[in-house]
Amino acid sequence: MATAMSQSKSPNPPPLSELRRDIDRIDEAMHRLLMERGEIIEALIAAKRAQETGSSFRPAREADMMRRLVERHHGLLPLDTVESMWRVIISTFTFVQAPFCVHADLSAGDALVRDSARFHFGFTVPFVAHMGAASVVAAVSASKGDLGLVPAFGMPGAGAWWDALEFDSAPKIIARLPFVDRADHPAGLPVFVVSRAASDAMAREVEVWSIRVSGWNARAAKEIGEMAEVIAVPDQAFDGAGLLVSVLPGNGVATITDALIRAGGSVRATALVGTHARRYSVTRGGEARGERLR
């Protein structure tokens, strides 16, 4: 039996009434599948209580889901729309499993950060505004499973907010949003997600290190900037800088510290403060470019 889609490409497309019936049928099927997903989530909640501990947020799984979504997507529906729909579905069902809040640092701009939060987590998850990354980290640290959103670039006067993530019991950077990079992304502000996640749920493709260095200089900034993403803020205690360095696969933190020493710096301390998935990039037309970028 020919579908309305195949018929629509023929010289004699089906009547509008038939096409609208097909849309109603698909809408009903989509709703039934969402309800079925909810039933599975109920069973998952019971299974996790018996078999698993830790946060319901699974950063490695979510990054993989979004990549697979992009790779299979085609057709008239814009990628922005389908990505947003999936993010709302994923985040809402995660919230149903274990309620949480999203704390966000608005110092980079209220609208940009809110767009990122709502695009990636929807409107069901409560949103809590903060002015400063340190306040976000403190709120997440005091919670059981909340998430924090902090711009993934240095804000003037923000200080080395990541120092608070160095302790074993502290939350960590568990993701970098958006999961899928593209030039015209509707919520393209790069942000780190700070939270506590189960060890087996973490994406470990990129390591994020806190590095304290004295003798920070332009040469050091240039050398390690070619190997990794770096946020640097003045560190008066060491007459240098506090660095947040996202170390790409194949480099390793030793490569970064060796480069700092060659450039005349002195590394005072290093601490792993998180991990996240590699950035995945698509073309403006929505096609995956293949190689995942940093």
Task: For 38-84, write each residue's pLDDT tens digit.
Answer: 888 888 777 776 555 556 788 999 999 999 998 888 888 888 899 99
Token pair belonging to 291: 């190689």
Exposure string of 229-253, with b = 16+ CB inside 10 Å and e = fewer, is bbbbbebeebebbbbbbbbbeebeb
Whether 275 and 202 have beta carbons less than 8 Å apart is answered as yes
CA-CA distance, 152 to 173, in Å (whole number)?
11
Residue 207 has pLDDT above 60, yes or no: yes
Between CA 98 and CA 175 the distance in angstroms is 19
Residue 221's pLDDT is 87
Q: Write the pLDDT tens digit of every residue in 231-278.
A: 888 886 667 888 999 998 777 899 999 989 998 888 998 999 999 998
Q: Tell me which DSSP letter residue 141 carries.
A: H
Beta strands in the chain (DSSP E): 102-105, 127-130, 147-151, 172-177, 180-181, 191-195, 206-214, 228-235, 240-247, 266-276, 280-281
CA atoms of 133 and 269, how far apart (whole Å): 21
* Distance in angstroms (rounded) separating the CA atoms of residues 205 and 174: 11
Q: How confident is the model at residue 183 (pLDDT cuts 50, 70, 90)?
A: confident
pLDDT the model gives residue 293 = 35
CA angle 35, 40, 41 (to 5 degrees): 90
Of 175, 157, 165, 88, give the one whose Cα is nearest residue 125: 88
